Amino acid sequence: MTFIEHLAELRVRLRNAAIVFLVFVIGSFFFVKQYFDFLTRPARAAWIIALQGQEPVFRFASPTEPFWVYTKLAMYVAFLASSPFVFWELWRFVAPGLYRREKRMALVVTLATAGCFVGGALFGYGVICKPALTYMLSFAEIFPGTLLGTGVAFELPVILAVLGWLGLVTARGLWRFNKYALILSAIIGGVLTPGPDVLSQVLMAGPLFGLYNVSILVVWLIERASRRRLADLAKETGADLVPTARD
């Protein structure tokens, strides 16, 4: 396939992805009020607790603000809903140029990234948001950032697993960094959960430190599998391919 043919194929894939995204944006407008009600539920519950039963009231600064809030919310939901189709189109463009092992790795990383991000966002929504918002009653300033922050933070195992697969980090090195990881987890927990609420910071730092240790196990399993493949290849070829342990 020539370079021009590659560009034409990329244009087709991007066009299909854009069409799917626009369809989901239009569809999301029919349910955007339900999305808003669902996302603001922790904020409203925190408001009632903090202000002793007072019903929350969301105010807007200009007549166009509610429209733009709903528009951005519809686009966020559309992006999440259409992402499997978008990735599928990109995968159809990239996959023909990959080896079988690279295809398996790309598929695992994609699924793990999506799963960890959704899991982190759900953790932030169900566990962290309510206690954090009890102290910080400004929904517009911190609620989306909390969900985004927990979603990104939960990508840690995927990132370290990929680095381990590439040989850039080792399980031994990650284990030696463990004591510093505990301190960093506490710092990140304080940054991602605004306000003086210690409980919400601990609820963020604890899982983050746990995910770091899970990452060590994942990297160790990747290293063991790699050593086994090299050992099998060494038996077939007679060459010494198994690397010695590094400090």
CA distance 143 to 146: 5
Question: Which is more confidently placed, 14 or 52?
Answer: 14
| C-alpha span between 67 and 74 (Å, rounded) | 10
Which band of pLDDT confidence, cut at 50, 70 and 90, is reported for residue 70?
Answer: confident
Tens digit of pLDDT for each residue in 137-195?
544 444 444 656 666 677 778 888 888 887 888 888 889 888 888 888 888 777 766 55
The residue with greater pLDDT, 1 or 245, is 1
What's the average model confidence in pLDDT over 74-85?
82
Where do the structural domains in the chain lie, given as residue ranges? 1-97, 134-247
Say if residue 89's pLDDT is above 70: yes
More reliable by pLDDT, 13 or 56: 13
Q: Is the pTM of this model over 0.75?
A: no
**Which DSSP symbol is given to 128?**
I
Distance of CA 196 to the CA centre of its chain: 25
Q: Name the least confident of 33-37, 55-59, 155-159.
A: 55-59
Whether the pLDDT of residue 83 is over 60: the answer is yes
Instruction: Give the dihedral sign, CA 182/188/189/195.
Output: positive
Across the range 22-47, mean pLDDT stands at 82
Reported as half-sphere exposure (CB side, CA atoms, 13 A), residue 168 has a value of: 6
Mean pLDDT value across residues 32-51: 75
Which residues 6+ apart lie within 8 Å of 105 measured at CB?
165
Is 50 exceeded by the pLDDT of residue 236?
yes
**Whole-angstrom Cα distance, residue 144 to residue 124?**
10
Structure tokens at 57: 């009231």
Q: What is the pLDDT of residue 142?
A: 44
Model confidence over 94-144: pLDDT tens digits? 777 767 776 777 777 777 777 777 777 777 666 666 666 665 554 444 444
Mean pLDDT lowest among 31-35, 180-184, 233-237: 233-237
What integer best gives the mean pLDDT of the chain?
75
Say which residue, 172 or 42, is predicted with more confidence.
172
